[in-house]
A = this chain, B = another copy of it.
């Protein structure tokens, strides 16, 4: 994989902007109609935009007056023809309406993009955190 970040980094930057704005429509617009997701939380898989829109709306509304800043680290991408593949670490930091840092966690994200007219949409997204062998718990904080 090369370190050239486009179009994966562009999609991740739009993802971060949509999360920061809690903009469900802008978030969902990043995804393909036939999306398959392996999400960090709760479900083995999720398919299609309707289910993803519901998940997103629930997440953003659960934040109340808080907001979330997404940091992107170690992004890599590969592009060939109609497909792009990328992975990165995403750190989600929640702030109060007054700008006080409340909590944070890190995910590993893999995305597959398909060229869609002039742009690209996410056809597959896989997020996770590594699991501790002894406790069986997800390690949600990646320390330098």
Contacts and interface: CB of A to CB of B under 8 A. Distances in A.
Given A44-B108, A108-B45, A78 B39 contact: no
A131 B128 CA distance: 8
A76 interface: yes
A18 interface: no
Task: Indicate how many identical chains form the complex.
Answer: 2
Residue of A74, A81, A85, A124 with most partner-chain B CB within 10 A: A85
Chain A interface helix/strand/loop/mixed: strand
Taking residues whose C-beta sits less than 8 angstroms from the other chain, chain A's interface range is 35 or more
A26 to B, nearest CB: 24
A17 B133 CA distance: 25
A54 B109 CA distance: 24
Interface string A39-63: 1111111000000000000000000
